[in-house]
Structure 1
C-alpha cells in the first residue's frame, strides 16, 4: 500500500459523518469545545468586562480609569496563568484540568455579585477569577481538538474557536438585559451559572470522547501518550521548541500581532470619531469587526488545510497593516467599513493560525505549553501597546503616529511568518483507535 493509499484511507475518518453513519467522534468533540468556549473564560472576562463598567460606575462612583485598571490586572493574570495552564494540560491531561476548572471559574465569577464599595476588592477578584479558571482558557480545548484531526485540522480549530465569537455576541447582550431587569449583581451570577451549566455537560459528554485517536496524549498523571506507546513520534520537547528558530519567529509575530490587533479592537471607535465619523456609525464598525471575525475563523481554518501558514498569515498581516494606514489617513464611511472587515479577518485568523502552526511545526506532545506561552506573549503585546497608544494619544492629540508604527510592526509579522520552513508533523496515516481509558483516568 502506498502513502497515497494510506492518506485516502485516513480521509473518511475526518468527515462529518463517519463510515458507520454516525457523526465522527472528532467533530463531536469539536462541537462540544465550541459550546464550552462560548461561555468560557475568554468570553466571560475579556469580552464582557466592559459591559459592567457603567453599572459599577453608577453603583460605587468609581472612575472609569480606575475600573479600567482592573482590565490591566486581568491581562497580567492571563499572561501568568496561560503557560502554567498549558504545562498542566500537557502533564495531567486536558480532561481533569477542564472538569475541575469549570465549576471553580463559575463560582468565582458569580462571587463578583458580592462586591462592596472597596475597589481593591474589585482588583483582587480580577486576579483570582482568571486563576480559578486556569483550565478553561482556549489552549485546553485546542489541545483536545487538534488530537483528532490531520487533513481537516485547520477547519476543526476554526469551528472550535468560533465559540468565542458566538459568546462575544450573545453574552454582552444577555448581560445588558439581565442587568437592566434584575441588576448588575444578578448579571454576574447569571454568567457564572451559565459558564457551568453549559460548559460542564458539553465537556463531559462531547469534548472527551472515549475512542480517541492514537496521536492524542493520555489523560492520567504520568501516563505516556497513546502515540508514544504505539511508537509514533508525537512532537518535540519544550526545550527543543525553545531552541528552534521557528518557535521564536512565531512568538515574536504574535507579540507584534497582539500589539496591533488588540489596540485596534480597543481604540477603533475613538480613532473613527477622531477621523470625523459620528459615534453611532463608529460603534457599528465594532459589529462589522465581530461579523468578519466569525466568518474568518471558518474560512481561514478551511484555507489552512489547503495553503501553508507561511503563505496565509503574511497576506492577512499585510491586509491588517493596510487597514491601519487607511485609518491613519482619516478613513471614514465605506473605507472605514473595509478597514473593519480587514481587521476582523486578521483578528479572527490569529488563533487559528497559532494552533495550526504549533501543531504542524512541533507536534502535539507539548502543544498546551507552547500555545499557552504564545497566548501569554500575545496578551503582553496587547497590554504594552494599548497603554503606549493611549499615552501617545493624550500627549499628541492624535492616533496617527501610533497607527503608522503599528502598521509597520504588523507588516513585520508578514516577513517573519513568510520565512517559516516546511511542516514537520504532517501525519497522513489513519489514526488507530485505542481502548477507552479506565474509570480512574
Structure 2
C-alpha cells in the first residue's frame, strides 16, 4: 500500500480523533486568548496594572514548567485518555473560577496556579501523542489540523469574549467560556479519544498505521546531548516567548497603534485565520521540504511583519498585513516544535521528550506576558518590545538552519534502551 492510499485509510478511520484533538487543543487556550479583553474591566474594577493582570498567566505558565515532563511520562505509560477526561472537567471548573476574583492579587495568582495544574492534562503533548499513535503517512497534516485548535480559539474567543463582557459582565463571561467550551470537548473525548495504549489494553489489532509508532527513538539522556534537539528547544523558547507576549497584549498594542478597541479585537481574531493558514500550509510544506528551512524562512517573515508595526511604518493597511503575517507565523510554531521533535528524537519516548519541550513552551508563556506588561508599564509603549523582538526572531531562524538532515530511525534501529551515541543525521 503506497503512502497516499495509506494516508487516505488513516483519515477514514481516525478523522473523529483529529476533530477531538482539534477542539481539545483549543480549550486551555481560551483563557489566554481572552485575557486581553478582560484587562480593561479588571483594571477598572480593581485598579490593577497591566503587569499585575498579566502576571496571572505568567504564574500559570511557571507552575506548568515542572509538570509537563511528568505528564509526558504518564502519556507514555498510560495513554492520553487517562489524563484528558478528568483534565477537561477540572479545566472547566478552573476557568469558571476566575469569576471569583475580588481584587486580591494573591487570590488571582492562586486561581491561575490551580488552572495551570488542571490544564496541564490538556496541553499539546496529549493531543499530538494521540494523533501520532494513529497516523503515519498523513501525520504532518493531522498534526497541523490538531494544532489549528489553538488558532481556532484565537479566531473565536476575542469577539466572543468582548460580546459576553459587554452584555453580561466579566464574571458571567468566565463561567460561560469555561462550561460552554468544556462540555463538547468532554463528550468528544468520551467517544473518540483512544490511542495505541488503549489498543494494547484491549488487545485490538490495528487496521492501519501505528505499528512502528513506539519502536525507535532517543532516550531522555540522549536527547539532552543531541545538538538538533537543543537547537529546536532554543528556537522554540525564543519564538514562543515573543508569541506569548503578543497573544496577551495584542489588543492593547493595536489600540496603542490608533485602532478602536472593537477593531483591535476583530484584528486579533483575523490573526487567528492567518495562524490556521500557517499551520496547514507549513504541514504541507514540511511533508515536501526540510522542516528546519521552512521554520527559518517563516521566522524571518515574522521579523519583517514586526517592522511594519513600528511607528515610522505603520498604517491601518500595513497593520492588517502585519497581523496576518504574525498570525501565519505563530500558527506553525507549535507544529514545527512537535514535528521536529518527533523527527530528531523518534517516537519511543516522545511523551517524555516533548514534555521537556512543553516545559520550555511554559517558560516562554510565563515570561512573555510579564515581559510585555513590564515594558509597557515602564516605558508607556510597546515599541521597545517590538525593537527587541526583531533580532531575536532572526536568531531563532539561524538556529533552525543548522539542524542537519533527518535521522533514519528505521536504519539505525535506535531504541529507548540503547545507551550508545546519538545517531548521526542521514
- CA distance in 1 between partners of 2:194 and 2:294 (Å): 31
Q: Which moved more, 1:356-365 or 1:62-71?
A: 62-71
Q: Which residue of 2 aligns with 1:235?
A: 217
Indicate which of 20, 24, 48 corresponds to 2:12. 24
Q: Is the 8 A contact 1:235 1:365 kept in 2?
A: yes
- CA distance in 2 between partners of 1:229 and 1:344 (Å): 36
1:92 maps to 2:78: yes
Q: Which moved more, 1:315-324 or 1:177-186?
A: 177-186
Quote how far apart the aligned CAs of 1:310 are: 1.7
Given the superposition, is the C-alpha separation of residues 35 and 265 from structure 1 closer, same or farther in structure 2, using an over 3 Å criterion? closer
Q: Which residue of 2 aligns with 1:249?
A: 231
1:42 maps to 2:24: no
Quote how far apart the aligned CAs of 1:337 are: 2.3
Indicate which of 150, 170, 179 corresponds to 1:193. 179
Task: Please show how residues 37-436 of structure 1 align to structure 2 within 5 Å.
Answer: 37-38=25-26, 40-43=27-30, 45-60=31-46, 62-208=48-194, 212=196, 233-268=215-250, 284-328=266-310, 329-388=312-371, 390-393=373-376, 395=378, 399-424=382-407
Q: Which moved more, 1:277-286 or 1:240-249?
A: 277-286
Count matched residues: 404
Unaligned runs of 5+ residues in structure 2 are 202-208, 412-426
Deviations 1:21-52, CA, capped at 9 Å, x for gaps: xx6223221112112223x2122x21223333
Quote how far apart the aligned CAs of 1:98 are: 1.1
Quote how far apart the aligned CAs of 1:60 are: 4.8
Given the superposition, is the C-alpha separation of residues 110 and 401 from structure 1 closer, same or farther in structure 2, using an over 3 Å criterion? closer
- CA distance in 2 between partners of 1:88 and 1:114 (Å): 32
Given the superposition, is the C-alpha separation of residues 360 and 415 from structure 1 closer, same or farther in structure 2, using an over 3 Å criterion? same
Deviations 1:132-179, CA, capped at 9 Å, x for gaps: 233111210111111222332221111111222223333444444445
Given the superposition, is the C-alpha separation of residues 77 and 234 from structure 1 closer, same or farther in structure 2, using an over 3 Å criterion? same
Given the superposition, is the C-alpha separation of residues 302 and 276 from structure 1 closer, same or farther in structure 2, using an over 3 Å criterion? same
Unaligned runs of 5+ residues in structure 1 are 1-5, 221-226, 429-441
Q: Which moved more, 1:56-65 or 1:117-126?
A: 56-65
- CA distance in 2 between partners of 1:121 and 1:276 (Å): 34
Q: Which moved more, 1:172-181 or 1:118-127?
A: 172-181
Q: Is the 8 A contact 1:14 1:26 kept in 2?
A: no
1:13 maps to 2:13: no
Q: Is the 8 A contact 1:236 1:366 kept in 2?
A: yes
Counterpart secondary structure, 1:48:
helix
Q: Is the 8 A contact 1:90 1:369 kept in 2?
A: yes
Q: Is the 8 A contact 1:217 1:365 kept in 2?
A: no
TM-score, normalising length from structure 2?
0.83
Q: Is the 8 A contact 1:14 1:152 kept in 2?
A: yes
Given the superposition, is the C-alpha separation of residues 169 and 324 from structure 1 closer, same or farther in structure 2, using an over 3 Å criterion? closer
Q: Is the 8 A contact 2:217 2:409 kept in 1?
A: no
Deviations 1:346-395, CA, capped at 9 Å, x for gaps: 10110111111111111222222222322332342354355445545555
Deviations 1:44-93, CA, capped at 9 Å, x for gaps: x2122333344444555555543333222122223333333222212322
